[in-house]
Structure 1
Amino acid sequence: MLSALLVLAVAAAPAKASAPPPEDPLQWQVPGQVSVVEVPAKMDVGGIPVRFRVVTSKEKVEFLLRHFGQAFADAGFYIERKQQRLAPQPHLTALNTRTLTSYTVILTPQAGGLTEVVVGEARLGARRPTAPPSVPVYPGAKNLLQADFEGAQTLGYEVQAPAAEVKAWYQEQLSRAGYRAEEPFVFRKKAQEVRVEVTPHAGSLHVLLFLRTAGEAPSK
């Protein structure tokens, strides 16, 4: 609701004569900036190249929503009036129609009156086909999403199944594939490590697999 009201306010606001902000929103100065967290430069989500910047700000969520809404409008980006709520946190998405690049800002209140500001860029026009998953996927999985980071991969999806059943299935499937359990739902095969997380979500089960090259396990 807050995002929708902000978009309407921005659309109705009179144009300003101020200079436009820099072309790259990830380089915009965040009001009240306290700190910045560096995020790996090379990421790919669902075949789409993405970048993130995480900033901590002293400003409140409502102020930052208004700020980014106006900044997106000043940059000439398209802002959909009625935006789908994709996360519990307040967020706003805009599209650079010239480059087919979307920008999303997600705002999360933190302790001490601070706000975590995540600014993400998705280059929709550079989307590439994704390779088949390198680990088993539970039958009936929906909304499959793969992400590639520097030295790691994630695979997430939703499924209608009991958590215990999904966990037992992965225990069996990964063991058959040559993995051995090192910790509860942490499996290793030579230098490859797979972590399995299962979380109830909105009446279904969210499954997240984290894959990385962890180096050879010490011999026992």
Structure 2
Amino acid sequence: MSLMMIPFLLSLALSAGPTTPADAGSPQPRPPSRGKAGGKAQPPPDAGVPEAEAPKAPFRWDIPGKVIWVQSPGPQVSDGVPMNLELARTDWPLNAVVQHIMESFRKAGFYMAPMKEQRSPTTEPMLTALDVEKLLAYTVIFQENADKSVTLILGVSNMSNYKPPGTTLSWAPLMPGAEGLTRSELEGAHLAVYATPPGTTEAQVLDYYRTALKPVGYEEDPDEKGRFRRGTELLIIGTRTEENRLMVSLRHRQGGAASAP
């Protein structure tokens, strides 16, 4: 799975919380019973200190069918949010797997927004649920394969550590007017994505970075545009168009082969 999926999963997790009326999504807990009208609740005989509730068992992914776990990126961080990604493949049909995962979320007591509000960064079905007690967001993207098996991208995000994204990076400059900055970290590598002002072209992006990076010691690879080196550091500049806006991706890694003197 591409690192570019990380910011999308984070945005999905951030949108998982209740933002609609109580009857629009998962059932809400009922208020406690007040007993008979006019009556006064009586404690049970020999009532002492109320017993503490048993701790809720941690949620575990329940993937149905014959399951094969696929090598995955593992723990990552995006804008300060610890995120764990796993990949699994099952022989169950797509609709059955979606219903099974949805039911497992309901049994766990998680909040789920109505299906019409469940946004997916791809064309595949997606489910996001929130454990409102632990502030853990669970996201699943379902990818149907040619043999009708289903690959599941499983993400768990600890939203209690969320830090609002800043407007600067310590390892690369941003173009003036940059918007929607999203950052991720994985095994010593950094990834950032942002939107440029309307009308910005790829040529303008590359010209900006050639001008901004040269004074701080970076040299562009003569055989591959957008690929800059400074000693053992590698910085790759990429662009793509999304909803009529040019998006810039920055990938930074230390420890690569040094460029020739």
TM-score, structure 1 normalization? 0.81
Deviation at 1:116, TM superposition (A): 2.0
Q: Structure 1 residues 104-113 or 123-132, which shifts more?
A: 123-132
Cα distance, 1:80 vs structure 2: 1.1
Paired letter, 1:143: G
Q: Aligned match of 1:126 in 146, 161, 166?
A: 161
The structure with the largest alpha-carbon Rg is: 2
Which residue in the other structure is 2:63 paired with?
29
Alpha-carbon distance in structure 1 between the residues aligned to 2:247 and 2:259 = 32
User: Which whole-Å CA distance do the structure 1 matches of 2:228 and 2:105 have between them?
Assistant: 44
Would you tell me which structure has more strand in proportion to its own residues? 1
- Percent identical: 24
Match of 2:81 in 1: 48
Change (3 A) 1:146 1:30: farther
The structural deviation recorded for 1:84 is: 4.1
Aligned equivalent of 2:119, options 85, 92, 116: 85
Matched, 1:117 2:152: yes
Match of 1:205 in 2: 246
Q: Is the 8 A contact 2:62 2:101 kept in 1?
A: no
Task: Give yes or no for contact 2:232–2:259 (8 Å, CA) kept in 1.
Answer: no
Q: Spell out, residue by residue over 1:26-51, the C-alpha distance to the aligned partner (whole angstroms, 9 max, x if none).
A: x433533234223233x111111111
Cα distance in 2 for residues equivalent to 1:22 and 1:111? 36
CA RMSD of aligned residues (A): 2.4
Gaps of 5+ in 2: 1-22, 28-55
Displacement after TM superposition at 1:106 (Å): 0.7
Query: Are 1:145 and 2:182 an aligned pair?
Result: yes
Whether the aligned pair in 1 keeps the contact of 2:138 and 2:156 (CA below 8 Å) is yes
Quick check: 2:62–2:104 contact (8 Å CA) kept in 1? Answer: no
SS for the counterpart of 1:111 is coil
Q: Which amino acid aligns with 2:74?
A: P
Output the CA distance in 2 between the equivalents of 1:197 and 1:59: 38
Q: Does 1:195 align with 2:236?
A: yes
Deviations 1:186-212 (A, max 9, x none): 111111111111001111112111111
Moved more, 198-207 or 168-177: 168-177
8 Å contact 1:147–1:155 — kept in the other structure? Answer: yes
Distance in 2 (alpha carbons) for counterparts of 1:36 and 1:44? 20
Query: What is the alpha-carbon distance in structure 2 between the residues aligned to residue 165 and residue 30 of structure 1?
Result: 50
Q: Is it true that 1:99 corresponds to 2:141 in the alignment? A: no
> Equivalent residue of 1:113, what SS?
coil
